[in-house]
Chains A and B, each alone.
Chain A
């Protein structure tokens, strides 16, 4: 989805090598980030300690460690000399004009630029030290944070930084990655010790002097507005100070978070009726399924050869309809933000931001001020998974802060975190494969239908008649060659808001394609792995991934009675990922014994962090396969907390997850997302192998209950 910036793009974005050398450690580097191009990326203190402004938001995916490792290796300092923070939005940290994290781009997009920043910092320090010592710069190196010539230490890094600050910056050449000490090695994550001690200040934990709490009370029906608000019962709660109304609801203001929640529970709101009061999951499902028949509305996403003719001429056609529901992201921290109106008529914000510019602009628009008057600080995120890419709660929060005129923490309860929407889209697909007399696939047509996520999520929307690439993600760009191949999509919009959800379209489409391929394999009398090898016979890189997973996952080897294996392969975010899931059914519950994963992401920057991302992605993929789905009734989400929206617990998690990385010299692939998509269909396929019944609708538990 995103392309790594080449050096030229970096120069244009960054405005030369924006290194800063200061003699005293920065009081608060975050504050300085927008001041001038000189203070972007790196600040080196007199003690040699380095403050790195990482353009990415840390939400557990480990990019801050990866970025610190790149800088430590390039300059030549111990990793713990580098402290990482997220800056306020400014040009050096933007890609394509705005600052944000997503698309598994944290390492992919910043690998080259940050190596260059580190190399140029090193060169500037070396040049300054060499000039002072009167020796050729080519003979000077930096090792363990000391400037050296031969075996002799010339000076400390801090001294060199002081000299370099007065000299023009130099341009450096990145080192050979083979010489790196931290990158690609078992490097402990920089954020973990504090997290284990409960020390990080998550957005929820952040306070300001004189701050009050504002608990949101929002319309249960999407687009709903309050008709009448009775404040009295809320105001009667001890600690409640005031009620602020805004379009779509109100906030109860109190001196403590608990008083605000108690007041919110007491507040009486009657909601105006909307056009969507009767909307239900069944109606959404029926509309999508009807969309599958609308040939004249289908937008072409890929057409290799004549799929219709291939299917018409096939000896045999395999056909199935598949369906998935809306999914919530459910980061463990419900959304909240702290806002302080400033003396100059501006706003200062602290929150769990993943799209810094989008949020800053939205806050400015809500307040009617220039974005330059909004100072936006990114705090540690208690999970994201795509939910923090948006800005949907911010306008109400700003209006509340402006009404209160003091620092306010505006927060949602879990019920709003799940109930307000911005889900992974619901979607259906009809897949039709043609087989020749020998059982070879000669044609495939995938027709998807569902709402446009892009239209809902992107501020610009998506014009009718335009293809939403996320709806056909991993279908239109599959590595398979199934003969004549057609992918098209019918748009069936709903009011329910949507956003990218970890791995985006790869989640639903990976399931559709991979579960269907197992149906095709069965019809053709083929082994599922053998069928995939046939469809990928042109692609040695993909075959290697398939073979590694199959071998490590004991594909084809005997199993205890009552257990089966399932296989899936999905190419997404530049990485090729195959998984084998071993599962059984015990008393109506699915037990996942073992997941074996092989991934080719070309290069692993932080091996253990990457492993963690695979494990987490696999658990989330299995969780959504088994349990998850928004139940829409009366125009509202009916399962708004973890008692109704079930996610995987430890007793349901796989006993063993094993990952094999494949590295090579291809373009570096993503890690945060590609581990998730294969897990869902690999589990579905294991259950298909076990019971002989395909699972064409998720979540699995609802299907087993209906069966």
Chain B
């Protein structure tokens, strides 16, 4: 039996150990915030935090993370600074990539509280946005970290 803490709640996973975390979240736990975009760790739409690190949930077998703490977009607090900055700067367009973008930004800011453009680009390069919201994502991360955008 695989046990996880997902958004603060202890859960026992019924899925097979080779099931990617994304599908445990979506199919079994009905958490649909993390998206399927490519299935091969190329687009970042499925990004969630495992032990505070941003991971591509589509390519991470749940059996490899037994006992881990998982945070998804649904687990962020109501007044999350990153989400507030995202709203303030009107960042999303279609919105499909944005839960993944926001979770990557969470991991970045936990590690580097005041990132510059280069640090942002390095941390966020795994998250594609076909709507092209990149300039606003950079600005929103700076705003969330208390830097003038």
Contact = CB atoms under 8 A, between A and B. Distances in A.
B87 A641 contact: no
Interface in B78-133: 83, 86-87, 90-99, 102, 117, 120-122, 124-133
Contact of B132 (A62, A197, A329, A619): A619
Interface string B46-82: 0000000000000000000000000011101000000
A615 B36 contact: no
Given A196-B92, A332-B94, A653 B99 contact: no
Contact of B96 (A256, A258, A333): A333
Contacts of B98: 195-196, 198
A188 B91 CA distance: 11
Contacts of A257: 23, 26-27, 36
B131 A383 contact: yes
A495 to B, nearest CB: 26
Interface in A200-234: 200-202, 204-205
Contact of B122 (A195, A609, A651): A651
Nearest to B31: A198
A414 to B, nearest CB: 5
A612 B129 CA distance: 13
Interface stretch (A4-12, A370-378, A654-662): A654-662
A533 interface: no
B95 A195 contact: yes
A649 B137 CA distance: 12
**Size bracket, chain B contacts:** 35 or more
A331 B121 CA distance: 22
B142 interface: no
B135 A332 contact: no
A655 B38 contact: no
**Interface residues of chain A: helix, strand, loop or mixed (majority):** loop
Contacts of B74: 197-198
A61 B132 CA distance: 12
A641 B42 contact: yes
Contact of A380 (B27, B95, B129, B132): B95
Contacts of A191: 92, 95
Contacts of A331: 94, 96, 130
A192 B87 contact: yes
Contact of B40 (A188, A196, A258, A641): A641
Nearest to B30: A207
A618 interface: yes
Contacts of B117: 655
A413 interface: yes
B23 A383 contact: no
Contacts of B40: 414, 641-643
Given A641-B38, A642-B42, A200 B95 contact: yes
Given A192-B92, A256-B28, A642-B128, A332 B37 contact: yes
A192 B23 contact: no
Contacts of B127: 650
Given A258-B19, A615-B132, A616-B133, A650 B125 contact: yes
B132 A653 contact: yes
Interface in A257-300: 257-258, 261
Contact of B128 (A195, A334, A380, A647): A647
Contacts of B36: 204, 257, 334
Contacts of A261: 39
B132 A383 contact: no
A608 interface: yes
Interface string A110-126: 00000000000000000
A324 interface: no
Contact of A204 (B23, B35, B102): B35
A202 B126 CA distance: 22
21 contacts: A60-B92, A192-B91, A201-B32, A202-B35, A204-B36, A256-B28, A257-B27, A257-B36, A331-B94, A332-B35, A332-B96, A334-B37, A383-B93, A413-B39, A414-B40, A414-B43, A612-B136, A615-B136, A641-B38, A649-B125, A657-B135
Q: Which 6 A-B pairs rank lowest in CB-CB distance, beginning with the nearest?
A: A619-B132, A382-B96, A60-B93, A198-B33, A60-B94, A195-B95
